[in-house]
Structure formats: C-alpha cells, structure tokens
C-alpha cells in the first residue's frame, strides 16, 4: 500500500509540474539544425532594448548594498546561489546564466547542502604534464556544475607565474606558456563537454594580488605575445571557451577591461574569438570606454552597463550595433554550449567518481623533489614512524578565496587559523575577508597508519620543537608535513610560515631519515634541504590527498610529477627581490563595494609593476642569468631511472630513444627544449614539446614529438606577426630544463 501511494503521489507531482511548466518556445532560432551564429542573429532581432541591456550585466550578489527589490527577488527565486547571475529571457527561450567559481571544484556548494569534489589545485594538475588528465579534471568539474544546476563555469585561470609569491598561483598552471596553455585548453574542453559554458581568465598580466585594482603593468608587446598572452592564445585555440574574463589591473596605462588592443584588436580580430568578454567582479570602471573597447558583460552587477550604458546608447556615444554585437556574442555562446537546448537538471553528484578522479590527479601530480634513499618506505621493516606537522592528524590544506571548495563534512580542523597574509609586510597578520583556512577530511596520519599497520605511528603537531625532535629521534623515520598558506587577495613569501623551517631543522637533526611533505600553492625556499633525506611536493592535494601521499611514500605508486615552475633558493634569485608594493603600504579591500560600484584604490595612487625581465620568465630567467634554481622547471624524480639517446631533429619534430634502466615500472615526462638562432634575441632555451610515457623495467621506446612551428617563432612587433628566424635550432631532450643534455641541431629556413 505505501508503495502504491508513493507511485500515485509521484505521478501527481509530475502531472502538476507538466501543467505549470511554461509552454515550449517556438521560433526559428530554436531550430537546432541552424548554426549558433544564425540562431543568435535570429533571436537578437526579436529583442527589445531593455532585454538586450538585461543580458550585458549581472544583477548583483545577495548581501549587496545597492540591490533593488526586483533584483533581490530574482536572486532569491531564480539564482542558484553562485558567484554570478544574469537573468534570461523566458519568452525567447534564453536561460538564466547561473555561474559558479570552479577553479578546483565547484565553490561554495556545501553552504547550500551540496557536495562538490575538492580536486588537487590546478598548479598540481600542471605538474602531471598530462593534457588528457586535464580534460578529465575539467569534465568532472563540468559534470558537478551541471548536477548542481549551474550552466557556466568560472574556472580556467592561466596567468603565468612571473611572480612566484602571487597568492593565486595555486589556481594557475605554472610559468611556461605552452604547458599552461595546453593544459588550460583541455580543462575548458572537459568542462564544456558537459554542456556547461567555460571561460578563461584573467586577461591579462594579473600576476600578483598586491594592489590588483590599482597596479599598472608595464611590458612590451613582443614579450606579452611570447609569454603571458601566448598561454591565452593556446588555451583559447585549443579550448574554444564561451567567455574570456578581463582582469583588474592596468596594462601600459589602460585598464584591461578598457583596453581595445587587448579585447578587440587581438582577442576578437587577430585570434578570431567568437565568444564574449566578461569583467572580473568589479573590474569594469566605465560604460562608454569599456563597451567600445570590447567588454561585453559586466559582473557581478549593473555598475556601469545599466543606466549609464543606456544613456551612452541614447546619446550615440556607443552605437546600437555595438550593443547588438555584445548580445549576439552572449547568446551565440549559449547556443554553442548547448545550455538552451539541453539545460542542466539537478541530480545527486557522483561522489565516488569524484574521489577516483581526485586521487588519480593527486597521484600523478606529486613531485619527488629529493630522495637520498629513504623512499619508498618498506612497511614490513619499519617499527616506528613519527608523523609531525600542523594538523597532519586531521586533513590536508587547501587554498583560500574564490578558488576554495567547501569541505565535505565541514572543516577538518576544529579551530582553524584565520586567513591572513603570512608573508607580505603590507597586510601582515590582517584577516582577509574574515575567512579561515580549510583542511579537507583526508587524514595523513590515518593513511600512514593504514599502510603500516604493524608499526607504531605517533603524532606531534610540531608546536613544541624539542618534543617533536624527541619523537623523531625515537622513531625509525620521521615525516614532517609542512604547510604554506596562499589565497586570493594577498601575496605570500617563499618562507614557510609559523617557524616551520626551524621545526624541520630540529627534526632532521634528531633523525637523518626525515622526509618532508609539502602542502603548498607556491614555490618555497628550503634552507633545510641538505639536512633532510627526502622531499615530496604534494601541493594542495584535494579530498583524497592523504591516500595519494601514503601511496607514494610506501611505493604503491612511483612518483611521476614534474615541476611546472622553478623553485628558487631565495628571493634574491628572482627578478624582483620583493613584491612590488603600493606606495603608502595600504591595500584596498578586495571586495569593497559589493552590490554597487567599486572605486578602485580610493585615496591610493596607482603604481607601476615593471616586468623588466620581459621574455625571461621562470626557468628562462635562471638560464639567462646563469643562476641555479633550488629545483628547476621540469624537475621530478622517480623510483626508477631513465636514459635518453639517439636524438635526431627535423624542422617538424624531434625523435629520440628512451629506456627504463631501473628495476621497476615508471612514468617519465620527456621534455624538448629549443635554442633559437642568436639573432633572434631570445632566452637560451624554451620548452617546445613533451611526451609522457610509461615503461616497464628494461623497456625501450623510440618516440617522436612533433613541434608546432609557432613554438619556434618569435613575435615581430614591427610586422605584428609571428616570424620564424632562419638559422640553426638546437634541440635538447631530457628530464628537466636543467637536465636536457641530449642534443640535435637542425637548420631551418
């Protein structure tokens, strides 16, 4: 009887839903056989001026100070609660745009009783050097967005690591434009494969958080095109995102969202981008100038693209044709992504699938930086293990800000420290946005105990260095978990916070078999590197991070990750010994003005960031200035060894032989670098390709890596075009930028 009643009730609910469901929209633009371009043209012809203006801005955020009653009602009744909301036009069949922060998983979902997978951060993903894995990463994010009712992702960060202390580096993909561009392109493809609109950000040169609203980046066009903008160019070409997000900062005097050369001449005309340009939140500072420059949609609210844009249209300052182009780009992207014909439907997220992908990414992303023989652990031989470090008995750390994924089951740490800037003197100790640091519920102590059930595994949080050292001394091995805090709205230091360097030195002095596991979003200095036996770079490893760490420590998995960024020895090795500060040492609140217009840097003068290193980003800087990094770009050890030989090169690619000369299977990321003719005026070498290959002990493979001609070219600013310089190109092959020691030279005309 109860079953029959439930069936009857379900049928009644379905019938009621069908009665109240809006009738299907009929119009030529709903013909799926037509191209997205044609469908967009047809539907825009039917729009009123008010409907067009409605699509070119959000309506604000709940909690905003200037929300009118209508906007508040829309946000309450139709918004999915994400970072951005643009009401659709039901009479034309155009859906609401529900946007969510989703750099490393769907953000801020648990607050609404939803589950989202906390993936390893994207800098970790870049360490896998695996475009197919990046696509799987994006697909998971897209699937979970769609399951939660979102139809637009705000992932896709690809700002280059010009500044290794940038607080948001954990959301990006390293220092090389080709690696970063290819990886972000596949993330976007993965997201959009789930019929969710994707985007790429932050265009461009938003490479530090300090003063991001008021900074003016100075860099010549050639350097931009060959470095930061090349990452965007590759990512847009390979990912075909629905949208591009412009950044807060100025570029050579003009705000990015008001920069016509960047948004129209380059992005839309030269690169042929067909999607739409959105502003970062409160990054639009005008109506007429921004619209004419190429900005298509202002977020989160109608700061300038509401009444002020209407007035500019009525006066003729902004042509009506420009508004039509803005709207066509938006609705074309909606048709192309499939969100009009196949809108998302709320479903239960596949938690198990999320765990599988998160652990797979973590295992392939971790980088074994040093190993003097302590790893892998032999669980049968170990009688005692000391596990030391901040909250290693609770969970694994994650980055903060809009890239934060709410922790499943709540923060693993009962009294987490507030989010503060532990490195920059400009906001030292100040709480950022009132947030706290989040540890996800993947417990390193439990994972290690599970792998060594016969050993005595004891924990110390490291707050008492002498007690921690005493525990290490009485144990066969010591594992120190060291954390670096990073997040949006502030920059960091290369120095580990909370005096962890001294802790590591104390533990290593007590036990030479000390292994350090790093949980971090940026490179860190390691004054203790010669004192410890091994270092494993685990990044922010996500919801299955502890399991992946234990798998590598005990040899279930042979590490295969390679660094996507150089690790300097100290700040003096960098182009700038310190973060470029705002003049008076004060920072504007990153979220000042929610719900209304942001006046960037009120009472604070703009300041310049002069990227005088130009083309020499990351490893190119170290090589050009004959500096030795602590760990070079592309570095990563394995539990086996590989030998390279027989390198041959043509104008189209490089062929070489790779052999596993160790005693166990392993995966190598073979890297190809090119030295251009001297007349090109380039840094000594640049990455031009790579191949990821798994080999059994003793196995040999001959590999050929095709080289894209653009990756060998320079950008000729006078010609405004890429140019292949005739001459001898020296290709080097190996396991890192500093260990590519097999060469072949070819003359290219």
For the stretch 22-67, pLDDT in tens is 578 889 999 999 999 999 999 999 999 999 999 999 998 766 556 7
The reported pLDDT for the residue numbered 66 is 63
- Cα–Cα distance list, 326 to 55, 99, 174, 330 (Å): 9, 18, 32, 7
Task: Answer for the pair 597, 148: CB distance below 8 angstroms, yes or no.
Answer: no
**Rounded CA gap, 516 and 483, in Å?**
10
- Report the percent of the chain where pLDDT is more than 90: 80
Share of the chain above pLDDT 70, in %: 90
**Is-cis flag, bond preceding 204, omega within 30?**
yes
Return the pLDDT at 596: 37
Confidence check: pLDDT of 482 > 70: yes
pLDDT band, very low/low/confident/very high, at 644 (cuts 50, 70, 90):
very high
Say yes or no to pLDDT of 4 above 50.
Answer: no
Residues 6+ apart with CB under 8 A from 719: none
Banded model confidence at residue 733, pLDDT cuts 50, 70, 90? very high
Question: Sorting pLDDT into bands at 50, 70 and 90, what band is 551?
Answer: very high
More confident call, 592 vs 465? 465
pLDDT of residue 577: 87
pLDDT digit string (tens) for 325-374? Answer: 999 999 999 999 999 999 998 899 999 999 999 999 999 999 999 999 99
Please tell me the predicted confidence (pLDDT) of residue 397.
96
Question: What SS3 string covers 322-351?
Answer: HHHHHHHHHHHHHHHHCCCCCCCCCCCCCH
CA 464 to chain centre: 35
pLDDT reported for residue 496: 95
- Report the pLDDT averaged over residues 147-176: 96
| Residue 313 confidence class, pLDDT cut points 50, 70, 90 | very high
Q: What SS3 class is residue 14?
A: helix
52 φ/ψ sector (left φ>0, alpha ψ -120 to 50, else beta): alpha
CA pair distance 618, 613, nearest whole angstrom: 10
Q: What is the C-alpha separation between 112 and 83, in angstroms, rounded?
A: 13
CATH fold of 32-63+74-108+115-337 reads: TIM Barrel (3.20.20)
pLDDT value of residue 73: 83
For the domain spanning 640-748, the CATH number is 2.60.40.10
pLDDT of 14:
35
Task: State how far the Cα of 45 lies from the Cα of 420, in Å rounded to an integer.
Answer: 51
CA-wise closest residue to 507 among 539, 480, 542: 480
The predicted structure's pLDDT at residue 68: 80
- C-alpha distances (whole Å) from 219 to each of 283, 534, 566, 612, 621 are 20, 39, 22, 7, 16
The answer to whether the CB of 743 falls within 8 A of the CB of 641 is no
Chain-centre distance of CA 29, in angstroms? 36
Q: Residues 723, 729, 733, CA angle at the centre, nearest 5°?
A: 125
Beta bridge partners of 421: 428
Provide the CATH number for the domain formed by 367-560 in this structure: 3.40.50.1700
pLDDT confidence of residue 5: 39
Q: Could you identify the residue written with the tokens 């990044």?
A: 539
Listed residue (705, 653, 715) closest to 682, CA to CA? 715
DSSP state of 29: G
Read off the pLDDT of residues 248-295 as tens digits, 9 standing for 90 and up. 999 999 999 999 999 999 999 999 999 999 999 999 999 999 999 999
Q: Comparing 110-114, 151-155, 171-175, 414-418, which segment has the lowest mean pLDDT?
A: 110-114
Q: Domain extents for the chain?
A: 32-63+74-108+115-337, 367-560, 640-748
N-to-C CA span, the chain:
83
Task: Look at residue 11 and tell me whether its pLDDT is greater than 70.
Answer: no
Query: Are the C-beta atoms of residues 203 and 246 closer than 8 Å to each other?
Result: yes
Q: What is the pLDDT of residue 108?
A: 79
pLDDT at position 444? 98
Task: Please tell me the pTM assigned to this model.
Answer: 0.94
Tokens of 565: 């960024």
- Indicate the average pLDDT of the chain: 91
Tokens of 125: 């993903």
Q: How many Å apart are CA 118 and CA 121, to the nearest integer?
A: 9
Asked whether the predicted pLDDT for residue 431 surpasses 90, the reply is: no
Residue among 259, 180, 167 at smallest CA distance from 227: 180
**Nearest Cα residue to 366 out of 511, 513, 547:** 547
Closest by CA position to 242, among listed 191, 202, 287:
191
Lowest mean pLDDT across 103-112, 546-555, 732-741: 103-112
Whether the per-residue pLDDT at 567 is higher than 60: the answer is: yes
Which range is most confident: 424-433, 474-483, 738-747?
474-483
Mean pLDDT of all residues in 164-187: 97
Mean per-residue pLDDT for 430-436?
A: 58
- Predicted local distance difference test score (pLDDT) of residue 321: 97
Q: How many residues appear in the chain? A: 749
Farthest-apart Cα atoms in the chain, separation? 86
pLDDT at site 30:
96
Q: Is 25 exposed, middle or buried (0-12, 13-18, 19+ CB in 10 A)?
A: middle
């Amino acid at each position: 009887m109860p079953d029959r009643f439930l069936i009857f009730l379900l049928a009644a609910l379905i019938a009621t839903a069908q009665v109240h469901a809006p009738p299907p929209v009929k119009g030529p633009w709903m013909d799926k056989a037509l191209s997205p371009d044609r469908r967009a043209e047809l539907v825009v012809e039917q729009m009123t001026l008010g409907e067009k203006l409605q699509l070119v801005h959000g309506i604000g955020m709940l909690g905003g100070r200037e929300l009118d009653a209508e906007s508040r009602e829309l946000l309450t009744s139709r918004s999915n609660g994400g970072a951005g909301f643009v009401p659709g036009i039901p009479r034309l069949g155009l859906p609401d745009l529900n946007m969510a922060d989703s750099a490393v998983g769907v953000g801020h979902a648990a607050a609404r009783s939803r589950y989202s997978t906390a993936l390893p951060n994207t800098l970790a993903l870049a360490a896998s050097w695996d475009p197919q894995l990046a696509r799987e990463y994006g697909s998971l994010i897209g699937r979970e967005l769609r399951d939660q009712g979102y139809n637009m992702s705000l992932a896709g960060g690809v700002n280059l690591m010009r500044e290794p202390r940038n607080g948001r580096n954990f959301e990006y993909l390293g220092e090389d434009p080709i690696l970063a561009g290819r990886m972000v392109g596949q993330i976007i493809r993965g997201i959009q494969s789930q019929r969710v609109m994707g985007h790429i950000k932050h265009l461009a040169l938003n490479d530090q958080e300090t003063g991001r609203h008021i900074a003016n980046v100075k860099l010549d066009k050639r350097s931009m095109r060959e470095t930061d903008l090349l990452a965007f160019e590759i990512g847009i070409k390979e990912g075909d995102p629905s949208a591009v997000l412009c950044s807060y900062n100025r570029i050579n005097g003009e705000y990015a969202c008001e920069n016509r050369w960047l948004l129209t001449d380059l992005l839309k005309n030269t690169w042929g981008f067909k999607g739409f340009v959105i502003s970062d939140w409160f990054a639009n500072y005008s109506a007429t100038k921004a619209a004419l420059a190429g900005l298509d949609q202002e977020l989160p609210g109608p700061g300038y693209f509401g009444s002020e844009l209407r007035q500019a249209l009525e006066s003729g300052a902004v042509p009506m044709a420009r508004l039509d182009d803005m709207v066509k780009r938006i609705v074309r992207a909606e048709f192309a992504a499939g969100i009009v014909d196949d809108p998302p439907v709320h479903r239960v997220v596949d938690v198990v699938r999320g765990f599988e992908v998160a652990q797979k990414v973590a295992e392939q992303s971790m980088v074994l930086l040093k190993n003097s023989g302590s790893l892998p652990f032999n669980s049968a031989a170990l009688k005692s293990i000391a596990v030391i470090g901040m909250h290693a008995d609770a969970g694994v750390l994650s980055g903060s800000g809009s890239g934060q994924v709410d922790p499943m089951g709540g923060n693993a740490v009962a009294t987490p420290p507030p989010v503060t800037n532990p490195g920059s003197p400009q906001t030292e100790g100040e709480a950022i946005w009132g947030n706290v640091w989040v540890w996800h519920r993947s417990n390193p102590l439990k994972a290690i105990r599970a792998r060594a059930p016969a050993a005595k595994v004891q924990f110390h949080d490291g707050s008492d260095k002498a007690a921690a050292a005493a525990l290490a001394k009485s144990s066969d091995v010591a594992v120190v978990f060291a954390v670096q805090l990073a997040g949006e709205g502030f920059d960091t230091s290369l120095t580990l916070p909370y005096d962890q360097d001294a802790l590591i030195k104390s533990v290593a002095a007590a036990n030479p078999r000390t292994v350090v596991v790093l949980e971090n979003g940026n490179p860190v200095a390691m004054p203790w590197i010669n004192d410890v036996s091994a270092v494993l770079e685990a990044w922010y490893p996500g919801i299955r991070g502890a399991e992946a760490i234990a798998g590598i420590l005990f040899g279930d998995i042979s590490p295969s990750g390679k660094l996507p960024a150089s690790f300097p020895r100290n700040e003096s090795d960098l182009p700038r010994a310190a973060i470029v500060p705002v003049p008076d040492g004060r920072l504007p609140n990153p979220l000042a003005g929610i719900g209304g217009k942001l006046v960037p840097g009120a009472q604070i003068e703009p300041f310049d960031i002069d990227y005088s290193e130009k083309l020499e980003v990351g490893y190119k800087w170290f090589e050009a200035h004959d500096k030795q990094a602590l760990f070079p770009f592309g570095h990563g050890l394995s539990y086996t060894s590989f030998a390279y030989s027989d390198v041959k090169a043509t104008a189209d690619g490089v062929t070489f032989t790779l052999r596993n000369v160790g005693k166990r299977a392993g995966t190598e990321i073979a890297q190809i670098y090119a030295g251009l003719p001297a007349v090109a005026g380039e840094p000594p070498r640049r990455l031009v390709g790579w191949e990821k290959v798994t080999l059994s002990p003793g196995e040999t493979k001959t590999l050929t890596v095709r080289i894209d001609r653009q990756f060998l070219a320079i950008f000729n600013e006078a010609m405004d075009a890429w140019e292949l310089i005739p001459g001898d190109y020296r290709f080097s092959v190996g396991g890192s930028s500093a260990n590519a020691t097999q060469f072949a030279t070819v003359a290219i005309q």
